[in-house]
Structure 1
Amino acid sequence: MRVVAAMSGGVDSAVAAARMIDAGHDVVGVHLALSQSAATLRESARGCCTIEDAGDARRVADQLGIPFYVWDMAERFKRDVVDDFVAEYAAGRTPNPCLRCNEKIKFAALLDKALALGFDAVATGHYAQVVERPDGGRELHRAVDPAKDQSYVLGVLDAEQLARAFFPLGDTHKPQVREEAAARGFYVARKPDSHDICFIQDGDTRGWLGRALGEAPGEIVDTDGTVLGEHRGAFAYTVGQRRGLGLRRPAADGQPRYVVEVRPEANQVVVGTADLLGVNAITGEHARWCGPAPVGVVTVGAQVRAHGEEFAAEARADGNRVEVRLRERIRGVAPGQSVVLYEGTRVVGSATIVASRLERAREAAR
């Protein structure tokens, strides 16, 4: 099989490419240039796609003896990931750019280009497993290493994309991957992992958004409308946030306050007590299924953060929409986040959260 190995310049994608070669595939290494003004050197474990990263990927490809190319997808990445990220925050939502990158770049733009050039599949260094069923269909499952599992950010893949995706590291724990890289003589064996948002290299999301959107001072209010303080941009706040509120006076009951709502139209941030954050029902749109869409009400596990806890739930799909009923309250569910549904270790699919609420009648019925 002819395979494009996406090589970021890190240890995971290096070992993934090597394993694809060991499996007998005809492999070509490709580094995605995603920045329109790539830095020369990586300054920290944050960020990626520097010229240094491209050089590290090329060095590994040379060691492996495979062709290597840099594909410029900076314009597409800016439009589909960065601009989307900015627009979502401006609208009072909390997006996950890694899911959008996997959906729009790595398993759309990259895969489409690979197929157009005559390749059969794409391999990446993501920690997840693809399991082939007896009927030849493929399923997406959690990685064996729970600390590195990335199935959540791959929950946007559909069956056709899974049919042409390889994740060679899904059956391995991260320390073993580093040991393998060192045994193969890869320079990147001890290179720090990238984390946080790759295009915000200093990790200051609030500052980055402020530069992108400009300051827009407004009110921080209590649920009854009482003004408690000021903010410099509602886009810098997300539901469930406690730190950085800068309130002028404490709550009368002394309880900590959290962001419970962001109102972009009024440019207000609403704060309240922790009990106002608990929800047990989620509505999602832009549903993506890693196989056939569920029929009727199905029992699932629901996860709303990349490395968050999975909660027991029931879900019902209705076209592009999905309703999720949780068996217990969970906190800090923000519009724009993704809810990813599981059946055991298998990823059923995902949807973008547009609303969440507390249905007390359901609690009383239990």
Structure 2
Amino acid sequence: MTRNFLPGSKKRIAVAMSGGVDSSVAAYLMAKAGHEIVGLTAWTLNGPGKCCNDALVNAGRVCEMLGVPYDTVDLRAEFSHFVMDYYNNSYEAGLTPNPCVECNRYVKWEMLVRYAVEELGVDYVATGHYAILEPAAHGVNVFRSVDEHKDQTYMMARVYPKDLAKTLFPLGEMTKPEVVALARELDLPTAYSKESQDICFVLNGQHNYMDLTLGKRKGNFVDTDTGKVLGEHDGYYRFTLGQRKGIGVAAGRPIYVTKIDPHTNTVYLGDAHHLESTTFKVLAPNWLLPELEAPGAFPLDCMVKIRYNSPPVMGRVELLDEASLSLKVTLFEPQSAITPGQIAAFYDGEFRQLLGGGYIERYLSHEAFSETKRDNLPDLYCQVAPATA
């Protein structure tokens, strides 16, 4: 059985603290183990989001209780660029993005790890994520958590291997109930904090957020088979592939979003069988094992997750284009709503080790981050408006 790596000798460790129970317990465990700890929170939002109002205060209270120093780093501009711009631009292009994956890659790991190592002089950055790390010749291997329900490896599919090599997961061999019980036993300030599943910068509902960001755009619902107009909508970006609820079209049968055309502002509707497929492309793959970066590694049979909350299925990964490293994935059984813009995460055949991941079919590349973006941070207060009907 894989054992989660934690350093035996005393190290200087920054604990990435979100103001929640998981990172609070991670900080306690690292301090208890005798390491030199500093709490660290990234300031990511410019407005009334929970990260601004609660995280810094709660994380600071935990550090005060543990008797360890606490630091913050202003990553609002980076978050705006790598996460919010990506999110908005993806929806405008008719894609369904996964902002948490991008935030992990560029903000929670690359930017935060760089600051912790270069400015705080730490050996590692510990987080409250549920995953297991094992040292390897190339750095580390990433394995799924013992908690099947909380495993977060899918969200790490695009994290740079160099940043994972500087990471520790103190909760890797714990379950969420064990973490909560320990936090309450210790009476940590965050022991009873609630977990949010919402996107942190979408404060007033997805439809309201996108209406304010892109503006309402009247378009048609069209029947996939017949081409008949079935009704009107207020913007293609309100919908995602496979969606059934909230369509508002009476068809006398269950109907689903089968295709989105951002150029004509058309949302196509059809039956469940229209969504079934086995083959798709993956672009810009990120591999956590160096041997998978070589063309000779393919074809590769492995487990594939097409979204965070979907079970994995076995499939074959082939190299389509060596120059762009695009991939062809053929699943061994059909899956519904393989959605452009989402992440395909690859695991070994036993669904234990994370191998990497890439964008399904289409993605928007990030332009180089510019420091001038700090002068134009989005104001989230503009979202706090009366909900529209």
Q: Verify same fold: TM over 0.5.
A: yes
What amino acid is aligned across from residue 85 of structure 1 in structure 2? Y
Report the secondary structure of 2:190's partner residue. Answer: helix
Report the secondary structure of 1:71's partner residue. Answer: strand
Report the secondary structure of 2:356's partner residue. Answer: strand
Shift of 1:159: 2.2
Separation of aligned partners in 2, 1:128 and 1:349 = 14
Which consecutive unaligned segments of at least 5 residues does structure 2 have? 1-10, 363-389
Separation of aligned partners in 2, 1:300 and 1:206 = 37
Aligned to 1:101: 103
Separation of aligned partners in 2, 1:315 and 1:193 = 35
RMSD over aligned Cα atoms? 1.5
Aligned to 1:221: 222
What amino acid is aligned across from residue 128 of structure 1 in structure 2? A
Separation of aligned partners in 2, 1:101 and 1:306 = 15
Separation of aligned partners in 1, 2:54 and 2:165 = 32
Matched, 1:4 2:9: no
Separation of aligned partners in 2, 1:310 and 1:282 = 15
Aligned to 1:255: 253
What amino acid is aligned across from residue 128 of structure 2 in structure 1? G
Matched, 1:264 2:262: yes
Aligned to 2:38: 28
Shift of 1:32: 1.4
Instruction: Provide Cα deviations, 1:214-255, integer angstroms capped at 9, x if missing partner.
Output: 0011111012321111110100111000111112x41xxx43
Report the secondary structure of 1:201's partner residue. Answer: coil
Aligned to 2:70: 68
1:1-366 aligned within 5 A? 1-39=11-49, 48-117=50-119, 118-133=121-136, 135=137, 137-202=139-204, 204-223=205-224, 224-247=226-249, 249-250=250-251, 254-294=252-292, 295-317=297-319, 318=322, 320-343=325-348, 344=350, 345-354=352-361
Report the secondary structure of 1:189's partner residue. Answer: coil
Aligned to 1:361: none
Report the secondary structure of 1:190's partner residue. Answer: coil
Separation of aligned partners in 1, 2:35 and 2:283 = 38
Report the secondary structure of 2:300's partner residue. Answer: strand
Separation of aligned partners in 2, 1:184 and 1:246 = 49
Instruction: Provide Cα deviations, 1:20-56, integer angstroms capped at 9, x if missing partner.
Output: 22333222101111111135xxxxxxxx303232111
What amino acid is aligned across from residue 237 of structure 1 in structure 2? F
Separation of aligned partners in 2, 1:298 and 1:24 = 43
Separation of aligned partners in 1, 2:48 and 2:122 = 28
Separation of aligned partners in 2, 1:313 and 1:209 = 35
Separation of aligned partners in 1, 2:300 and 2:54 = 47
Report the secondary structure of 1:182's partner residue. Answer: helix
Report the secondary structure of 1:265's partner residue. Answer: coil
Aligned to 2:366: none
Separation of aligned partners in 2, 1:309 and 1:266 = 34
What amino acid is aligned across from residue 173 of structure 1 in structure 2? T
What amino acid is aligned across from residue 17 of structure 2 in structure 1? M
Instruction: Provide Cα deviations, 1:57-87, integer angstroms capped at 9, x if missing partner.
Output: 1010011111101211111111110111000
Report the secondary structure of 1:37's partner residue. Answer: coil
Q: Assess if the C-alpha contact under 8 Å between 2:105 and 2:160 holds in 1.
A: no
Q: Assess if the C-alpha contact under 8 Å between 1:155 and 1:347 holds in 2.
A: yes
What amino acid is aligned across from residue 340 of structure 1 in structure 2? A
Instruction: Provide Cα deviations, 1:124-161, integer angstroms capped at 9, x if missing partner.
Output: 1111111224x474111111111111110011123212
Separation of aligned partners in 2, 1:293 and 1:231 = 47
Q: How many residues align structurally?
A: 341
Which consecutive unaligned segments of at least 5 residues does structure 1 have? 40-47, 356-366
What amino acid is aligned across from residue 40 of structure 2 in structure 1? V
Instruction: Provide Cα deviations, 1:141-185, integer angstroms capped at 9, x if missing partner.
Output: 111111111110011123212211111111111010011112222
Report the secondary structure of 1:288's partner residue. Answer: strand
The sequence identity of aligned pairs, in percent, is 34
Q: Assess if the C-alpha contact under 8 Å between 2:138 and 2:289 holds in 1.
A: no
Query: TM-score, normalization: structure 2?
Result: 0.84
